[in-house]
Amino acid sequence: MHDEKYPLISHPNDPQFRLLRQLQSARGREQTNQYLIEGIRHVARAHEARAAFSSLFVEPSKLSNPFGQKLARRIRQAGVPQFRIAPHLYRELTLASEPQGIAAILRKPQTSLDAIGRAHSALWLAVESIDQPGNLGTIIRTAEASGAAGIFVLGQGADPWDPACVRATMGALFSLRLIQCSNREFIQWSRTNHVKIVASSPAGLMTFKAFGGRKPMAILIGSEKVGLSEELLEAADFTVRIPMKGQSDSINAAVAAGVLLFQYADAVR
């Protein structure tokens, strides 16, 4: 790969390594407006989606996959700065059980409410206070698979740029519109664009199958611990429940999102 001609990061005080460590925290990601991705699949999906790369990092002894090597070369040829990272420092950063030797820093995409407007046939997902990164990542992956137009991330604690969340999306993060906003902003957007809000709650008056659904609509999912806030429940046009047939009184938020997304994906427009 002829990586020897690219700068080597070998000391923990190297500015580039300190930046990588900084991006492992929510505060660091917020301060820099950047986030970290790792692995061939994620880097490839980001490249395909024309995500904004700031820099590329490789650990040559781990990057043995021919496709991964070609991928690094293509990104480098596109003008993205590349760095080699020493094996002992790479081990400190990786979350993978079988590291693939490639990572990148990306700039966060900026998607505003004004930019997305309304699509008559659109199905949206909104999640409130999903504070488990793996859970949020699975929800994002499920939303993309169902054909959702985008996902609203509401409330405090939910960080779609957390490395564990990014990893759980399996690359879906790069091909789905993601909007972070307040509950009030989401409610105002839905009213302005005539998007019906369908909340999921055990207290729903009808089952999710009894509700026919009509697009455009936004499915609203809350956290497993506390559910949806009163503000969002009051704003919902409809509230549906997923009946439990066993002894459990609730299901995982990602599972609930999947059930409703695929139920309403082909709803009447």
> pLDDT tens-digit profile of 192-216?
989 999 999 988 889 998 888 778 9
Last residue of a domain, one of 107, 128, 149: 107
Going through the chain in order, the beta strands assigned E by DSSP cover: 8-9, 34-38, 53-58, 82-85, 102-107, 123-128, 150-154, 177-181, 196-200, 206-207, 217-221, 238-241
pLDDT tier for residue 268 given thresholds of 50, 70 and 90:
low
Q: What is the pTM of this model?
A: 0.89
Tell me the CATH number at 133: 3.40.1280.10
Distance CA 83, CA 46 (A): 18
For residues 176-189, average pLDDT? 93
Check whether 165 has a pLDDT greater than 70: yes
Percent of the chain surpassing pLDDT 70: 95
162 and 250 share one domain: yes
- Supply φ then ψ for residue 161, to 5 degrees: -100, 5
Predicted local confidence at residue 116, as pLDDT: 80
pLDDT tens per residue across span 167-179: 999 999 998 999 9
Does some domain include residue 269? no
94 and 178 share one domain: no
Check whether 252 has a pLDDT greater than 60: yes
Distance CA 184, CA 235 (A): 10
Residue 172 — left, alpha, or beta (φ > 0 → left; ψ -120 to 50 → alpha)? alpha
Q: How far is CA 40 from the centre of its chain?
A: 17
Distance CA 183, CA 246 (A): 33
Predicted local confidence at residue 115, as pLDDT: 75
121 and 86 share one domain: no
**Residue 10: DSSP 8-state:** -
Predicted local confidence at residue 244, as pLDDT: 84
Last residue of a domain, one of 83, 107, 131: 107
For residues 140-157, average pLDDT? 92
Predicted local confidence at residue 119, as pLDDT: 64
Last residue of a domain, one of 107, 123, 145: 107
Predicted local confidence at residue 96, as pLDDT: 84
| Domains held by the chain: number | 2
Check whether 144 has a pLDDT greater than 90: yes
C-alpha neighbours within 13 Å on the C-beta side of residue 76: 18
For residues 46-51, average pLDDT? 95
**Residue 174: DSSP 8-state:** G
Instruction: Supply the range of the domain harboring residue 43.
Output: 3-107
pLDDT tier for residue 55 given thresholds of 50, 70 and 90:
very high
> Is residue 85 classed as helix, strand or coil in its secondary structure?
strand
For residues 19-32, average pLDDT? 95
pLDDT tier for residue 223 given thresholds of 50, 70 and 90:
confident
Check whether 247 has a pLDDT greater than 60: yes
For residues 99-124, average pLDDT? 85
Would you list the DSSP string of 115-164? HH---TT-EEEEEE----HHHHHHHHHHHHHHT-SEEEEESSS--TTSHH
Q: Nearest to residue 146, comparing CAs of 124, 167, 131, 126?
A: 124
pLDDT tens per residue across span 67-97: 999 999 999 999 999 999 999 999 998 888 8
| Mean pLDDT for all residues in the chain | 91
133 and 260 share one domain: yes
> Is residue 33 classed as helix, strand or coil in its secondary structure?
coil
- List Cβ neighbours of 175 (8 Å cut-off, separation of 6 or more): 45, 49, 144
Residues 265 and 147 sit within 8 Å (Cβ to Cβ):
yes
Check whether 1 has a pLDDT greater than 60: no
Predicted local confidence at residue 100, as pLDDT: 95
What is the greatest pairwise CA distance in the chain?
65
Predicted local confidence at residue 2, as pLDDT: 52
